[in-house]
Structure 1
């Protein structure tokens, strides 16, 4: 039975509010909340005690869900009537599957993840590890921190940022003289991620300088 407060459980000549209508309202709210985010959802309500007598509400019922971002597991929905005043709480449990990103093959430590290396797969939410990646674009271009077997769920803690600059590849070097911007071509002497300082060779002066990776193939020399 759902917990309730300010509810009149005594007999009254006033028409009783149908409990099934409350249950249907809560179920519909949960369906809308998890729409297209949970696969094969199963919604179970702990229904109100049939002996509970609530006066018929004169206005549309008000729902309150304090955990709108909670899509699976246990949740409790508050249903309130403004006239006459009463409120009930309907506990619910939502089960189902969520999509995660899996590896399609084994990957070595330091491998750069490509589209063909990963796929989307639905798993029961209880079996999904914390920190799992759910979007393909999040994983593409990232590098593995450790070897990853085939058909493994990819987790953020096992990946590191993608390289924006690759060793021995051409880059654009940007410097400023006052308000004047000067661009020259160079060669990266080391792989680099965003905001990392790496050595580059200026192709005009042939000198080796240090710059900061600010964009793909873009180096800024402060």
Structure 2
């Protein structure tokens, strides 16, 4: 083999090597469609929930080898409805060549939620010793949950629950602030007018609930809103 032939072969091998290397480099630096979709959806979620939200995206039901059709342009990614923790539908489309596809994604949003540290019986008042806050995927908590700012302390447990249970709104209720027969102060609130008189509660109520109250002076019955222990308002 001549020196010229050897040089030609070296040039051919060099071109092939550079071509393969360029393709490998492109594959390493170009994110796959899952990364693009996840990044786009997480950016949108951060705009809704704030920058401190801990979230991730998964693609339930899709095998790891699944690929979208080839697209020469940027992918258009739009949720079918407003994003929320849990299962969401999205529409992915391409302008060149044109195609459109619907996918299901799971938006995992992690927050510190209240769980019971010990078994709590029915009608028990929840105290700080009964709860602790741990990170959970809120998209899986379909009954709801409480965070540290939701005022769970002092609530009443509606039915017995075991340790480790995530506390939801249907498990608890606010305590009564007024019991039937309690002596209360009735405040009549009108624009420019405020009148107070003594009364008697004819029903029990929690803060914010309405109840019937008898005016002790006129013996008339009015409907008022419970404000706190011993105080109701008529507007």
- Contact 2:209-2:226 within 8 A present in 1 as well: yes
Between 1 and 2, higher relative CO (CA 8 Å, sep ≥ 6) is seen in 1
Among residues 209, 227, 230, which one is paired with 1:215 in the alignment? Answer: 227
SS at match of 2:41: helix
State TM-score, norm by structure 1.
Answer: 0.60
Taking structure 1 as reference, are residues 221 and 33 closer, same or farther at Cα in structure 2, changes over 3 Å only?
closer
Match in the other structure for 2:76: 62
Q: Does 1:120 align with 2:172?
A: no
Q: SS at the partner of 2:160?
A: coil
- 1:71 matched residue in structure 2: 85
Q: Distance in 1 between matches of 2:160 and 2:188?
A: 39
Q: Which piece of structure 1 moves more, 104-113 or 166-175?
A: 166-175
Q: Aligned match of 1:22 in 16, 19, 33?
A: 33
Measure the CA separation in 2 of the matches of 1:85 and 1:66: 19
Query: Quick check: 1:197 aligned with 2:211?
Result: yes
How far off is 1:26 after superposition? 0.5
Larger radius of gyration: 2
The answer to which structure has the higher helix fraction is 2
Contiguous gaps of at least 5 residues in structure 1: 1-17
CA 1:148–1:187 in 2, change beyond 3 Å: closer, same or farther? farther
Equivalent of residue 43 in structure 1, options 49, 52, 58: 58
Moved more, 185-194 or 27-36: 185-194
Match of 1:181 in 2: 194
The answer to whether the Cα contact below 8 Å between 2:78 and 2:92 also exists between their aligned partners in 1 is: yes
Instruction: State the secondary structure of the residue aligned to 2:197.
Output: strand
* Superposition deviation, residue 131 in structure 1: 0.9
Residues 158-192 of structure 1 show CA distances to partners (whole Å, capped at 9, x for unaligned) of 22234343678774312479x85311356768742
Cα separation, partners in 2 of 1:20 and 1:107, compared to 1, 3 Å: closer
